[in-house]
Amino acid sequence: GLDGMGLARKLHEWSDLPIVMLTSVDEEETVVQAIERFAEDYIRKPCEPAELVARVESALHMKAEQDQLRDMALEADRLGAIDVLTGLGNRRQFDRRANELLAIVGGVTPVGVLMVDVDHFKRVNDREGHLAGDALLRRIPQVLAGGLRGTDWIGRYGGEEVLLLLPET
């Protein structure tokens, strides 16, 4: 029971596929609304087959570029929340997790936050070298993680500080 415009609207709601309208409707207002709301392109009938193919290929190319940019942004966001040395979440991720957790528990359930700091860490770097210090920083979270529950979170706050987020604690 849908006309071409109605079908295009529904397709836009259900999918992120690019929509190229091919229609005999040539009212300027309709064309403008279609492009503003859901269509990547709009072709009036009759049209040359080569033009239709070129416009569809162009829309698909733009969609592929948009998908690639979205994926790159998601990966940059993910990497921006990871400590490179330990592979743990970083301070930025801690802030996100803490805010999400507090929104869920709403102040009803206790949430423990534990900061573990390595005393005299500078001595390890000075005596054993930075590679040994890095190895120690990677080992500490591994040891701590052995005692965590599935709901707990561990991350690197910075330097030699590790944060634990402990719901219901």
Residue 113: which of 63, 68, 54, 168 has the closest Cα? 168
Other CB atoms within 10 A of residue 122 CB? 12
Tell me, yes or no, if 160 is annotated catalytic.
yes
Say which of 27, 100, 160, 161 is annotated catalytic: 160
Residue by residue, DSSP assigns 108-149 as TS-EEEEEEE-TTHHHHHHHH-HHHHHHHHHHHHHHHHTT--
Biggest CA–CA distance in the chain, Å, is 80
Supply the residues annotated as catalytic: 160
